[in-house]
Chain A
Amino acid sequence: MTFDKTHKQAVSEWEALQSSNKPRLLVGAGTCGSAAGALDVLKAINEELERQSIEAIVIQVGCMGLCFAEPMVGVVKPGRPQIIYGNLTPEIATQLVKDYLMADNPRADLALGCAGDGRVDGIPNLFELSVLKPQVRVVLHNCGFIDPENINHYIANGGYSGLVKALKMAPEAIIEEIKKSGLRGRGGAGFPTGQKWDFCRKAPGKEKYIICNADEGDPGAFMNRSLLEGDPHSVLEGMAIGAYTIGANQGYIYCRAEYPLALERLRLALQQMETYGFIGGNILGSGFDFHIKIKEGAGAFVCGEETALMASIEGKRGMPRSRPPFPAISGLWGKPTNINNVETWADAARILQKGSEWYAHYGSEKSKGTKTFALVGKVERTGLIEVPLGITLRQIIYEIGGGILEGKEFKAIQTGGPSGGCLPLSMLDSPVDYESLTAAGSIMGSGGMIVADEDTCMVDLTKYFLTFTQAESCGKCPPCRVGTRQMLGILDSITRGEGKPGDIEQLERIATTVKQGSLCGLGQTAPNPVLTTIRYFRNEYETHINEKRCPALVCKSLISFYILPDKCQGCMICLRNCPTEAIVGGKRLVHVIDQDKCIKCGTCVDVCPPRFAAIAKVSGEQIEVPQQPVPIKPSA
C-alpha cells in the first residue's frame, strides 16, 4: 500500500472517531497516572457506563504532563469541545458519568479546562491556563490526545510524513535541514545534531549503527518515559529518518528496565511499523532497509554514558572508555555509530514533518526549539512540561509550577540531575539554555528540575547526590572512584556535626580534581552539586561546621525533638505511634521524649494533632522540659 492510501485510511479513522455520535472518554493511564489511581477510575467509569447502558468510546492515552492533577480524564460529547477533569477518584468519576453524560451538566467545578473548538460555560480554555500558557508542545503535541497504541492516530496527526519526505531527499539535504533547525542533543550535552549525523555519515565503513538512548537514569527525571509511553511512534520515526540519513541498517533502543510500560508500547509500535512497511526491508519502496532491536538496561546509571551504553549492548560490563575514537568513527562493535537521546529523535521527526524554519522560530539565539523538563519537588504543580528554550527559571517555577508548595520560601532549583547543580534565588531570572546554565555552574542535562524550599538542607541534598554518584561510579578510573568516596565521607561528617574548619576547601580541591581527571561524563560532572552548593550556599556549610547546626532542620545528628509542656494535652497519640517507644507519659500527663532512644524520625510531629502542635523540632538549642511526665496544667 502506498503511504497516501495509508494516510487516507488513518485520517478517515481519526475523523470518524472525532465526529462519532458516541461520547468519548480519554483516560490518562501512563505510569504516573496509574500510580495516582487512574486504573481504578477507569474501572469505575466502565462499570458506570455499563450500569447506565451508555455506549461510549473509552481510550487510554498517555500523560498530558499535568501530573499534579492526576488521575485525569478528558470527556468529549458529540459537537462539544473536550473537557479535561482532574484529581478524580472512582466515586467522582462515577458521578461525572451520571452528571455530564446522562444529565448534561458539564460539572465546571471539577473541570480543569477544555480543549478543541468551542467553549463550555464556566470552563476556561486549557491552553490559556497559566500552567500551559508559556508552554509550547512540539514533541509532546500528541501526548494525552492520541491512543499511543494506535498507529493510525499518529499518522492522522502528521506522523510518518517526515519519514516519507526524508526518503525522497538526499541524505546531505536532510543533514542541512537538521543543521538549519539548530537542534542540539537533548540528552544534556547539547552537541549540534546535524553535525553529529554528518560525522557518522561521512565516516568510512559500510556497516553503521544508530542508537536511541532511553536509559533515563537521572533521579528526578521522567521526560523520556512519558514520551515513549504517550507517543512511541514519534521516536521511532525520528530513528528511521536518522538511519536513512546516516546509512545505518540497524538501530538499537537501549531502554531501562524500570520502564515496563514504555517497553511494552515500543514493542507494539515496532510491530505496527512492520505491518505498515515503515521498517524492515525496502521501506516504502525506497530500497532502504532498517531494523530496530530493543535492549533492556540492567540497572546501571553509568550506561547512560554513550561508550558504556555500547559496551552494555555488546554484553559486557557497562564501563565507559576514553574518547577518541568517537562513536561516529568507532562505536558499537567498532563500527561508526550515532547515538541520540529519545527526545532528540522525536525532535528530528517533527523537524522533517514541519520544516526547520518552523522549529527554529522557537527558542533563543543559540538554543533553538523546545525542551521537555520534569518539574518536581516542592512546587505546587508538578509535571512534565515543554517550553521554548530561553524561558526563565522564574517563569517555569512561578507561572507553570504555580510557586512553592504550601507558600514556603524558594531555596534552590536543581537542574541536570546528579551531574547538574543547585541554583539560588539570584539566578531565577537567567534564561534556560545550554550556555546560561553552564555559566551558572549547572547543566541543562536531560531535563530534571527539582525545586527545593526552605525545608531542604543543601548539605544534605549534596550528600544525597554524592551517595548516588559514588554508588553508581563504575570504578574504572581512580579520580571518580576514589574522589566521590572521599567527598561523600567529608559531606557525611559535616552532616553528622563532625565537620572541621578546612573541610570546605578540601571539598573544593577534590571536586576540581575529579572534574578534571575523570574518564567520562559521570565523573566529570559528579562534583557539580558540591561546587554549586559551596558557591551559592556556603553559609549553610559553615553553619553545620562551625555552629553544629542544621538551619533547615534536616540533618538527624544535629536536630532534637521536644514536647512542649505548655502545649501537650497528654493525648497519648505520639506515644502510641513512636516506633522506638522513646516517649513516656500517660493520660493527661505531659509526655517526655527520651533523647537517647529518639531516632529523630519525626513521626511524633506528623501525628501530633495540629490544634496542639506540641512538638518542637530544633537544631543547636536545648529546650527546658520536665525530665519525667508531669500532670498537664489545667487550661486557663
Chain B
Amino acid sequence: MAFFAKLQLWLFKSVERHVSDELAKIVAEYKGEKGALIPILQKVQEKFGYLPEEAISEIAKSSRISESEVFGVASFYAQFYFTRRGQHTVKVCLGTACHVRGGEKILDEIKRELNVESGGTTEDYKFSLERVACFGSCALAPVLVINKDVYGRMTVAKAKETLKEYR
C-alpha cells in the first residue's frame, strides 16, 4: 500500500515537473516581449489541449503577474479551456448564414448523436462539442468543422455520416 502511494506521488511529481519544464520553455520564448500573456496562454493550450490549473499559477509566477490577472485574461476569451478536451473537437457554425439555413438543426442532431451539450465533452473523451459564431465559410452554409476540417453544405444526414468517420 505504502509502495503504491509512493509510486503515485512520484508519478504526480514527475508530471508536475514535466508541466513546469514545458512552461518554462514557453515563457522564456517571450522574455522581454510586451503584451505576451495571450500568446503564452495560446502556446500552453496548444501543448496541453487546455489550461491546467498548475499552468495558470506557473505562468503567473514566471511572468511576475498575479494569478487572478492571468485567470482574468484567460477566462475572458472563448478560446481558452480549463478542463480536459475530447480527442476530436466538433464545431457547429451558427453564424447568421448558417442560422437561416438550418445550422441549429445540425447542432441538435449532433447533441443527440453524441449525447452531450454544446461546450461539453463526451464521457469517453472522444468528442468535445462547441457552437461557434462564424467560420467565414458562409457561402457554404450550414457548416460543420471537425478538428481542422471544414465541411460545407451540411444536412442532418450528412452531418451524421461525417461524424461516423471520426468514431
A binds B: yes
Residue of A nearest to B45 (CB): A298
Q: What is the interface size of chain A, counting residues whose CB is below 8 A from a CB of the partner?
A: 62
A560 to B33, CA, bound (A): 59
Considering the chains assembled together, what is the distance between the CA atoms of A602 and B157 in angstroms? Answer: 13
Which bucket holds chain B's interface residue count? 35 or more
Name the A residues within 8 Å of B95 (CB-CB).
219-220
Does B114 touch A at the CB level, under 8 Å?
no
Query: How far apart are the CA atoms of A260 and B137 in the complex, in Å?
Result: 13
Tell me the bound Cα distance from A376 to B139 in angstroms.
5
Instruction: Offer 8 A-B interface pairs, CB within 8 angstroms, sorted by A.
Output: A32-B136, A32-B139, A217-B134, A220-B95, A221-B138, A298-B38, A417-B96, A601-B108
B152 partner residues in chain A, CB cutoff 8 A: 32, 35-36, 70
A31-B136, A35-B140, A220-B138 known; A601+B105 contact, CB < 8 A: yes
* Residues 140-159 of B contacting A (Cβ, < 8 Å): 140-141, 143, 148, 150-153, 155-156
Given contacts A31-B137, A299-B77, A317-B76, whether A450 and B35 have CB atoms under 8 Å apart is: no
In the assembled complex, how far is the CB of residue A456 from the closest CB belonging to chain B, in whole angstroms? 5
The distance in angstroms between the C-alpha atoms of A8 and B8, with both chains bound, is: 68
In the complex, A67→B136 CA distance in Å?
Answer: 12
Separation of A465 and B94 alpha carbons in the complex (Å) = 11
Scan residues 285-335 of chain A and give those whose CB is less than 8 A from a CB of chain B.
295-301, 312-319, 333
Q: Indicate whether A35 sits within 8 Å of B151 (C-beta atoms), given known contacts A450-B97, A603-B156.
A: yes
Residue B34 contacts which of A36, A257, A314, A417 (CB distance < 8 angstroms)?
A314
- List residues of A whose CB falls within 8 A of some B CB: 31-32, 34-36, 67-68, 70, 216-222, 225, 257-260, 295-301, 312-319, 333, 374-378, 382-384, 414, 417, 448, 450, 452, 456, 461, 464-465, 468, 472, 474, 579, 599, 601-603, 606
Contact of A300 among B39, B76, B109, B153 (CB under 8 A): B76
Whether A602 lies near B136 (C-beta < 8 A) is no
- Which partner residue on chain A sits nearest B78 by CB separation? A299
Assess whether A258 is in contact with B135, with CB atoms less than 8 Å apart.
yes
Q: In the complex, how many angstroms separate the beta carbon of B29 from the nearest chain A beta carbon?
A: 14
Q: How far, in whole Å, are A299 and B79 apart by their CA atoms in the complex? A: 5
Q: Would you call B78 and A450 a contact (CB within 8 A)?
A: no
Does A220 lie within 8 Å of B139, measured CB to CB?
A: no
Closest to A383 in B: B139
Partner of A219, one of B105, B112, B133: B133
A36 touches B79 (CB 8 A): no
**What's the Cα separation between A450 and B95 when bound, in Å?**
10
Q: How far is the CA of A374 from the CA of B105 in the complex (A)?
A: 23
Please, how many angstroms separate the alpha-carbon atoms of A450 and B39 in the complex? Answer: 34
> Are B78 and A300 in contact (CB-based, < 8 A)?
yes
B28, CB-defined interface residue at 8 Å: no
Does B100 reach chain A (CB closer than 8 Å)? yes
- Asked if residues B138 and A301 are in contact (CB atoms below 8 Å), the reply is no
Contact A35 B137 (CB under 8 A): yes
Q: Distance (Å) between the CB of A277 and the closest chain B CB?
A: 25
Alpha-carbon separation in the docked complex, A374 to B152 (Å): 16
Given A298-B77, A315-B38, A468-B133, CB of A384 within 8 Å of CB of B100: no
User: Which of A70, A318, A603 has a CB less than 8 Å from the CB of B76?
Assistant: A318
- Is B88 engaged at the interface, CB distance under 8 Å to the other chain? no
Tell me which of B42, B100, B137, B138 contacts A298 (CB under 8 A). Answer: B42
Q: Counting CB contacts under 8 A, is B72 at the interface?
A: yes
B36 in the interface (beta carbon within 8 A): yes
The distance in angstroms between the C-alpha atoms of A380 and B2, with both chains bound, is: 71
Q: Is B132 located at the chain interface by the 8 A CB criterion? A: yes
Of A257, A259, A333, A450, which contacts B96 at CB under 8 A?
Answer: A450
Q: How far is the CB of B122 from chain A (nearest CB, A)?
A: 18
Evaluate contact between B139 and A382: CB separation under 8 angstroms.
Answer: yes
Q: Given A317-B76, A579-B109 in contact, is the A464-B96 Cβ separation under 8 Å?
A: yes
B139 touches A296 (CB 8 A): no
Which interface residue of A220, A296, A315, A461 has the most chain B CB atoms within 10 A?
A: A315
| Of the residues B72, B78, B140, contact of A67 by C-beta under 8 Å | B140
Chain B, 16-36, CB within 8 A of any chain A CB? 34-36
Q: B136 to chain A: which residues have CB within 8 Å?
A: 31-32, 216, 221-222, 225, 258-259
Does B9 sit at the interface, judged by CB under 8 A? no
Taken residue by residue from 26 to 59, chain B's Cβ proximity to chain A (1 for < 8 Å, 0 otherwise) reads as 0000000011111101100000000000000000
Q: Quick one: which of B41, B73, B105, B132 contacts A258, CB cutoff 8 A?
A: B132
